[in-house]
Structure 1
Amino acid sequence: MITTKNKLIFSLALVALLASVPFVAAQEGGIQYQHANNVVTVTTDAIGVRVTAFNQVPHFTIWDENDTTPGADYHVTFVNLFEANDTDGNGVYDPEVDQRYGNPFTLPTSDWAFSGFNQEYDGDDVVAVHFNFTNEDTFTPTPPVPYVLADDPSPMDLEIEIRVHINATFMDRMKFDLALDGWEWMYDDSILVFQFVVADSEHGVNDGTGVPADFAEDESGYKFTFGEAWMECAKFAYAENGTHQSQVQVKASHGDGEQGSTGNAVYIAFGYFGNNSLDYDPTLGILSEEVQPIPTDILLVVGGAVVVLVVIAIVLKVRK
């Protein structure tokens, strides 16, 4: 039987446990952020992030905030998107085998609308920052060769939104959503490919100037490492039509940078999703050993220690 005194001790212990978890998380550090001329800069205790949408296609720059040498910057640029055939039916874009249908849609270099910052707080501390850039453009693809469609490809009214999320729970990374609406497919058995270019530079340089060292794709086929940074691709995207949401298969691949570009190419291929909008969320991060998320079991141990102290204090007071 649980007595009234035991209930009091249990309740206070539970309160202490719950109160200890956000306190420990808050000690990981803060988030600083600013916006000027369509360039957003965000820093945490582990990573620095700059998102540029001014006079260039959307461009992410990340660096290790703990590297004082001053180290390298890593540049990930969202270059274009295009429809392609899937020659072997595996859902992966192979630039040596698969054929692009028509010209790619190159992302605009101007007219990106900034949303402003949306912050989340724990007391007075900012624990998460969200923002986005949005653009609307009209694109008319050139017909593929050989051309087997009855009608010429129609102009597309595209809307592209890039949403960025930085959370104090994971100080060494940033997540970004890519939302696309208005894509008109030429074929229902093709794939839509998002192309990124990954490069590096000395810290503080606006653009990538070299090919990152040790560029590699892991066994899963969804995570790429380059220098002291990484890019991870989610295995599924989501297609929506306003009333229904469904998963879309995603496959990632890479290749050499194309002529005229510096760096490696990363291709993210999406299966057919009809006339629905597409929402996808990759992640960029730094291979930092300085700041890591505190595992749940460690949080529970820390919380448990606080609970023990609180319970002992209450028991001693009652016994007096």
Structure 2
Amino acid sequence: MSKGHKVRCEKVKAGLYTVTAENITVKVSSGIIPHFHFWYTEDNSTVYHVKFVQLAEFIDGNNDSAFQHNETVRPTDTGPGLFHTPIFSFSEGARGWNFSGFYNITSDEAILGVGFNFTLNGTRSPIFRDLYIELRCRIYLNDTRLNVTANDQAVYYNMTGGAELKVDVVIKNWPWLTDHSMLALRWDISWESGPKAGERHEPFIRGHRVDVSRNMTIERRIEAPPHANETSVVFRGVKTNRTRAHFDSLVKAKVFNGTAEGLVNVTASYRTDGEALRFYICYPYFGSNTLEHDPSMGVYPTTLEVLPVPSPNIPGIPADTVTYNHSKVVPKMFVGEVQANRMTVLLFRNVILTVNSSRCLRLNLTVSSRVVMHYLILDLKPGESLNLMMNMTVSTPEGVRKLDRDIGIYLDIRHNATLRVNATLRLYINKTALESELGRSINASRLSWVYWNGSSWILVPSWMDADGYLTAHVTHLSVWSIVEVVPLKVTAQLSPEVVTVGEPVTVSAVVKDEEGNPVADVRVTVRLGGKIVQLTDKGNGNYEGTIDTTGLAEGTYDIVIRAEKGGYTSHQTSKTVTVKMKEAMPLTSLVLYGCIAAVVIIVVVVILYKLRTRA
């Protein structure tokens, strides 16, 4: 790297290099098998070791979509003479692995980071002679938002600059034994702490400690957290319970060929062997296509374990509030303990979180690196001790509809409480900074907290308090955001406006905001008497549908058209339709039709009589 950048690459000896970034240092070995040692740059008292071990083809016999070693493909799973070993060891490279050397990652001539690749250089086994494996490794200088896309699908994730190593795993030409198999990529994760470490580090998966000294007899599936894009192993200090390092596996992989592409689900399982943690990343069958997947690993600075410091000048927070300084860290699975009835400030690089809880609280916090500085206060009154997991992002969690005029903050808050959790949410509103961030003007008096109820956004009563915080009292914790509430305006036309009972009425509606902009994805309903129908979105703010008049008495009726959408003030209008009964047939017409019927009957009788006499 050129002088002035925050990544330095050095050759230690033949086949051994170090890559030093602001927070992470990685030792790269380019020998027989790819593996990494990494540690916090300013403190190498604990060193983590990640090693690529093998690929294993297996059949998911217990339908958990994860690898267990007793599911590895056996001869009885294939036809006669078709079986071969289902396992490829990364040490079987005939001439090792080709190491690319280091190169700059650039965009528009700007250097974004440093990269290096490992590519499989042939194998000893003819079975795997066409197998292609490439490991593309990246360290970014600054916080970077990345994505995996295929057609109209996308998964987003964040890389912390100077603190994480990203590895793109590319696999193609796997010699499948069956077309209903899966493929497991095994990584072994171990670590060693020296006498200066101060405390042992232990791995945790989904909040549960993993005992590596135990020799597990079977692999266990790892459930990905709800709405999370990654499955993670984190390492915490035994004394402080602080997160020190992490290993992440994206829950989606890209599968593609020359003409088509798509995203597939990725699962994981693990097993301990007394010395290391075996982590299995599991991919579905992808045939002759190419698979690309993005795991990563990283560190948290250990020198940030500091004593409480005086509270900075935070609006509404007393100066003597207990404050912990983690201002160099963008929290990712940060774990902390908050004592009951003791207001605590956690100071991070891009958020200042103040927590006050009536019961002891264990917090697991992740904040997207794209979040700019915000002041957030959580005042909790749980009925019991609480484990709280909070994810703060600029985009919606999976399965949640984006708000039209949000302020770029979404909180996914989950907990283990069995009783109701009453809380007060407060976010400091700096109108000038917010407008600069959003690139639009806002009316702060229209801001409101909203929550996602599983199908739509619900507004809750909100107000600006004396300290400038948008405040709401809530009775549950789920997915929350803040929206600038804008009124809807719906206009409508009927066709026809006068109908005969039983005929449908076509309703055409146009929905706009107060500035005259068309609004999409609005729920527009039409009510006529006891009948309610929803209009179809035709695009560009236009909605259309029909409502039936069957069963109505003759008269004039109001058709009520109502427009509703989360984050907007609903609006309704009405139009009048006249319903008439079918006109009775005139007497002259009845006489005429009667005569015609009589003539027809006489003709039929005459014809039948003649036929009978001939017989």
Correspondence for 1:61? 37
Choose the corresponding residue for 2:373, options 286, 298, 306.
298
Correspondence for 1:76? 50
Trace 1:175-190 onto structure 2 (pairs within 5 A): 175-190=166-181
Counterparts of 2:105 and 2:202, CA distance in 1: 36
Is the counterpart of residue 165 in structure 1 residue 138 in structure 2? yes
**CA drift at 1:137:** 2.3
**CA drift at 1:182:** 1.4
**CA drift at 1:248:** 2.2
1:119-153 deviations in Å (ceiling 9; x for gaps): 14699995411111112324659xxxxxxxxxxxx
**CA drift at 1:85:** 1.2
Correspondence for 1:214? 202
1:55-111 deviations in Å (ceiling 9; x for gaps): x411111101132xx41100010001110110122211133x523443521113653
Which letter maps to 1:254?
Y
SS of alignment partner, residue 373 of structure 2: helix
Counterparts of 2:108 and 2:99, CA distance in 1: 27
Which letter maps to 2:184?
V
Correspondence for 1:193? 184
Counterparts of 2:108 and 2:169, CA distance in 1: 31
Counterparts of 2:45 and 2:185, CA distance in 1: 29
Correspondence for 1:311? none
* Native 8 Å contact 1:49 1:60 kept in 2: yes
After the TM superposition, which of the residue ranges 39-48 and 191-200 deviates more from structure 2? Answer: 39-48
CA 120–280 in structure 1, closer or farther in 2 if over 3 Å, else same:
closer
CA 100–60 in structure 1, closer or farther in 2 if over 3 Å, else same:
farther
Correspondence for 2:295? 282
**CA drift at 1:191:** 0.9
Counterparts of 1:132 and 1:81, CA distance in 2: 19
Correspondence for 1:245? 261
SS of alignment partner, residue 281 of structure 2: strand
CA 240–39 in structure 1, closer or farther in 2 if over 3 Å, else same:
farther
* Native 8 Å contact 2:56 2:72 kept in 1: no
* Native 8 Å contact 2:98 2:121 kept in 1: no
Counterparts of 1:253 and 1:197, CA distance in 2: 12
Is the counterpart of residue 49 in structure 1 residue 26 in structure 2? yes
Correspondence for 2:245? 229
CA 122–243 in structure 1, closer or farther in 2 if over 3 Å, else same:
closer
Correspondence for 1:112? 97
Tell me which structure has the larger Cα radius of gyration: 2
Which letter maps to 2:34?
P
Correspondence for 1:268? 281
Counterparts of 1:87 and 1:178, CA distance in 2: 26
**CA drift at 1:163:** 0.7
* Native 8 Å contact 2:253 2:291 kept in 1: yes
Correspondence for 2:271? 255
Counterparts of 1:37 and 1:58, CA distance in 2: 15
* Native 8 Å contact 1:105 1:139 kept in 2: no
Correspondence for 2:9? 33
Correspondence for 1:12? none
Counterparts of 1:274 and 1:124, CA distance in 2: 38
* Native 8 Å contact 1:171 1:292 kept in 2: no
CA 118–59 in structure 1, closer or farther in 2 if over 3 Å, else same:
same
Which letter maps to 1:31?
V
**CA drift at 1:44:** 1.3
SS of alignment partner, residue 137 of structure 1: coil
Trace 1:77-92 onto structure 2 (pairs within 5 A): 77-92=51-66
Q: How many residues align?
A: 251
CA 188–123 in structure 1, closer or farther in 2 if over 3 Å, else same:
closer
1:187-214 deviations in Å (ceiling 9; x for gaps): 12111000111111257xxxxxxxx842
Counterparts of 2:204 and 2:128, CA distance in 1: 38
Hey, which of these two has a bigger chunk of helix by percent? 1
Counterparts of 2:256 and 2:51, CA distance in 1: 26
Counterparts of 1:240 and 1:140, CA distance in 2: 26
Correspondence for 1:137? 122
CA 240–139 in structure 1, closer or farther in 2 if over 3 Å, else same:
farther
* Higher RCO, 1 vs 2 (CA within 8 Å, ≥6 residues apart): 1
Hey, which of these two has a bigger chunk of strand by percent? 2
SS of alignment partner, residue 372 of structure 2: helix
Q: CA RMSD in A?
A: 3.2
1:5-40 deviations in Å (ceiling 9; x for gaps): xxxxxxxxxxxxxxxxxxxxxx9x711112453333
Give me the TM-score of the superposition, normalised by structure 1. 0.69
CA 123–186 in structure 1, closer or farther in 2 if over 3 Å, else same:
closer
SS of alignment partner, residue 130 of structure 1: strand
**CA drift at 1:242:** 2.4
SS of alignment partner, residue 6 of structure 2: coil
SS of alignment partner, residue 86 of structure 1: coil
Give me the TM-score of the superposition, normalised by structure 2. 0.37
Which letter maps to 1:164?
C
